[in-house]
Structure 1
Amino acid sequence: MNSRYFCLLLLLLAPLDAAFSQEKPGWIKRAIQKAISDTTSPGKPSFRIYPTLAYSPETSFEFGFSSLLLFQAKNDTLNRLSEIQAFTFITLEAQYGIWLDNAIYGDQDKWFFLGRTRFQRFPLLYYGIGPETSGHEPALIDANYLLLRQRVLRKIVPNLFVGPEVDYQQLYNTSFNQPEGNHEYEAPLGSDGTRNLGLGAALVYDNRHNVLNVRKGLFGEISFLQYAPKLGSDYKFYGVNLDIRSSHPTNARNVLAWQLYGNFLSGNVPFNQLALMGGEMIMRGYYSGRYRDKNMLAFQTEHRWLPFRFSKRIGGTVFAAAAVVAPKLNEFSWKHIRPSGGVGLRYLLFPKKDIFLRLDVGFTKEGPGFYLFTGEAF
């Protein structure tokens, strides 16, 4: 089962950009021009909202809106660019959701708030646990899902931040549906509903100036989270997360970037909080959770043209990745490494802030996955 298919109406209409300079454009052109034109001055907040359309077999058609707010503390261009992204959707199967991501820097980087929020009623495809699960006829776990994760970080020296982290995840109103005529899956831990609260700390190094389109910079994070019944969790487990990203300009327009990502968990981990391979950020082309287990290592690299030499707004990328999951650290195996790769288009939505929309197509041996988001994958 592939990832959701996204189509952005404004991106499809981007070739009309040259026509916007015509005298007295119609109201449709004026609306599109307003949506894609960046009229804010440097340092001033910018906001965009645009429609999305998606399709997948488990949801039918999905309609939604994405929005992006960009700003710099005290409207000072010397401060880093902060971003708040929101996405809301509803499907023809009466499923719905709201996503919110934030990376907010205070004045002179004194504080850094990094987090994400998810609330959705949306089916989760379940292929089993482990590095060799079958890709045929996954089970379907329908549930309400809530995620609240936030890091509140304080600068201790330039570019180095430390602070507490909280993670709350809940599944409720769940139903575990076996493939029709097939009952091969055992119900995993947490499939009847689960609520877990984790507390911990994160250490982050970040010298990026533009989080959504890093031309040059290094981001490194290591964090620890402990979940326990005394904190209100249904299960007791803990995890260590590692995320290292580096971007290197090859010339004024081109960027070569790479990322190393790892999840390492121990204890009674519910299925929805295992390390998940796939999704819109890493291992594009695989459904998020196509492979899952207590441990995962992943690496990806990407070359970006931002924009192409022949265009002021259109760019592109090529990327490749590999990842592996295992129940224990000493059980990682070369034979279980899964590769993926793909290509993408970019559209410069905020020229003055150097922010692109990305439309990526990731390829695996199981088929393609399509992704549309604001900002780069990493």
Structure 2
Amino acid sequence: MKRVLGCLMGFLWIAGPVMAQEHVPKIARNAIGRFIYQTLNDTSSAASSRVLIFPTAGYAPETSLELGVRAFSLYYANDDTLVNRLSELVLYGFVTLRGQFGAQLENAVYSDQNTYYLLGRARYQQFPLLYYGIGPQTRPGNPALVSSSYVQIRQRALRKVTQNWYAGPEIDFQRLQNVTFERTDPDAVVLPLGGRGSTTLELGGTLVYDDRKNVLNVRKGAFFEAAALRNLVNTSTYTFQRLLFDGRFYRPLGKASRVLALQATGMFISGNVPFNSLALLGGENTMRGYYMGRYRDKNLLAAQAELRWLPFAFSRRWGGTLFGGLGTVAPSVSQFRVNQIRWAVGGGARFLFFQKKDVYLRADLGITREGTGLYFSLGEAF
């Protein structure tokens, strides 16, 4: 059961008219048409703030039809494009025909002179997830359907300590309530730790190197994050600590429109950790094509590479990508095995949405040995 979730309606609804012609089309003669055309042909300066709101749609067997709205806010502090970096706020809300709903706010916000950097997300959802079990060799068939109320708040409050280096505290709060496991085969899935609900609060520190100018479309630069966190509540049941790293490198190849992007990530957890806080392999950003959490365990290693044409040489606003990734999970570092590494490959289309801010709308198809995944969003996967 592959989830198709994201900006499909917005991508087709807004990009469609431009494929036909560059001049003002007949669709722009009414109010809705003018809004679509003006949004698509945004010629506002890079310094100006811009908010974009458009509908989304998706379908999955566990949710039926899903309808939602995404709102993006892109801006530079003090409208200074020479020194300050592009800040991003994304708000997303959805409902399904089965009465499920959720909301998520993501932020990557820089203050003036890039002195402070707030990076994180907050989300609430009453939404089912597929649970295949824990470990690198879980079976693809007959996953449990887990329904719950879930809250997560993860935030890093960072301050510049020297050129491009930031440091500060990190907090990760998670609460899972009203949990039910629906299993096709009751003997196939053992109820994991935290399977009846859990509350954790991790606190720690984060060190970040970041010289990217535009986090939604990096053409040159690097990003590195290392963090250490420890759970501070319900320690009688959940005593665990987490180490993680995320390294990214971007380099232009020949023409400025062609970019090579590389990423390596790792997560290492020790102690007793609830299943919803384990390291997860898959999703719209890493190992595209695998369901988010298709593989989960205490330890994770993953790497991916992506070649981007932004835009194609023959087009002013259309581009594309090719990508591939490798990843695996394990109960301990010593138990990582080469024959348990999973692969994912794919490609995607890009449309230059904010022309002055150099931000693209993306549609990606990820292919794995277990199936495919289709993803739509604003900005690159990493």
1:299 and 1:177 mapped to 2: Cα distance? 33
1:154 and 1:59 mapped to 2: Cα distance? 41
* Counterpart residue number, 1:191: 195
* C-alpha distance 234-195 of structure 1, shift in aligned 2 (>3 A): farther
2:172 and 2:131 mapped to 1: Cα distance? 22
Given that 2:118 and 2:155 are in contact with CA atoms closer than 8 Å, whether structure 1 keeps it comes out as: yes
1:4 and 1:185 mapped to 2: Cα distance? 25
2:156 and 2:149 mapped to 1: Cα distance? 24
1:233 and 1:92 mapped to 2: Cα distance? 40
What does 1:265-304 align with in structure 2 at a 5 Å threshold? 265-304=269-308
* Counterpart residue number, 1:12: 12
Tell me the amino acid that sits aligned with residue 47 of structure 1.
V
1:240 and 1:274 mapped to 2: Cα distance? 12
2:173 counterpart (157, 160, 168): 168
Tell me the amino acid that sits aligned with residue 10 of structure 2.
L
What does 1:252-267 align with in structure 2 at a 5 Å threshold? 252-267=256-271
* Counterpart residue number, 2:242: 239
Q: Give the CA deviation at 1:234.
A: 5.3
Partner SS for 2:140: coil
Given that 1:196 and 1:233 are in contact with CA atoms closer than 8 Å, whether structure 2 keeps it comes out as: no
Partner SS for 1:229: coil
* C-alpha distance 40-233 of structure 1, shift in aligned 2 (>3 A): farther
1:124 and 1:9 mapped to 2: Cα distance? 23
Q: Does 1:209 align with 2:210?
A: no
* Counterpart residue number, 1:131: 136
* C-alpha distance 89-333 of structure 1, shift in aligned 2 (>3 A): same
Given that 1:118 and 1:148 are in contact with CA atoms closer than 8 Å, whether structure 2 keeps it comes out as: yes
2:314 counterpart (310, 316, 330): 310
Given that 1:196 and 1:234 are in contact with CA atoms closer than 8 Å, whether structure 2 keeps it comes out as: no
* Counterpart residue number, 1:98: 103
* Counterpart residue number, 2:377: 373
Given that 1:358 and 1:374 are in contact with CA atoms closer than 8 Å, whether structure 2 keeps it comes out as: yes
1:193 and 1:95 mapped to 2: Cα distance? 18
Partner SS for 1:189: coil
Tell me the amino acid that sits aligned with residue 338 of structure 2.
W
1:201 and 1:335 mapped to 2: Cα distance? 34
What's the TM-score once normalised by structure 2's chain length? 0.95
Q: Which runs of 5+ in 2 are unaligned?
A: none
2:350 and 2:22 mapped to 1: Cα distance? 20
Partner SS for 2:339: helix
Q: Which runs of 5+ in 1 are unaligned?
A: none
Q: Give the CA deviation at 1:97.
A: 0.9
* Counterpart residue number, 2:323: 319
* Counterpart residue number, 2:151: 146
Given that 1:74 and 1:107 are in contact with CA atoms closer than 8 Å, whether structure 2 keeps it comes out as: yes
Paired residues, number: 376
What does 1:102-121 align with in structure 2 at a 5 Å threshold? 102-121=107-126
What does 1:41-80 align with in structure 2 at a 5 Å threshold? 41-78=45-82, 79-80=84-85
Q: Give the CA deviation at 1:101.
A: 0.8
- Identity fraction in percent: 48
Relative to structure 2, which stretch is displaced further, 18-27 or 330-339? 18-27
4+ long deviations beyond 4 Å: none
Supply the RMSD in Å over aligned alpha carbons.
1.5
User: Could you list the per-position Cα deviations for residues 160-213 of structure 1 after superposition, in whole angstroms to 9, with x for gaps in the alignment?
Assistant: 00000001011011111111x543211011111100000000000000000000
Relative to structure 2, which stretch is displaced further, 217-226 or 18-27? 18-27
Tell me the amino acid that sits aligned with residue 16 of structure 1.
P
User: Could you list the per-position Cα deviations for residues 17-45 of structure 1 after superposition, in whole angstroms to 9, with x for gaps in the alignment?
Assistant: 22651466244422311332324322111
Tell me the amino acid that sits aligned with residue 346 of structure 1.
R
Given that 1:297 and 1:324 are in contact with CA atoms closer than 8 Å, whether structure 2 keeps it comes out as: yes
Given that 1:105 and 1:113 are in contact with CA atoms closer than 8 Å, whether structure 2 keeps it comes out as: yes
Q: Does 1:228 align with 2:229?
A: no
* Counterpart residue number, 2:252: 249
2:16 and 2:67 mapped to 1: Cα distance? 23
1:151 and 1:143 mapped to 2: Cα distance? 26
Given that 1:227 and 1:233 are in contact with CA atoms closer than 8 Å, whether structure 2 keeps it comes out as: no
Partner SS for 1:211: coil
Q: Give the CA deviation at 1:86.
A: 1.3
Tell me the amino acid that sits aligned with residue 107 of structure 2.
N
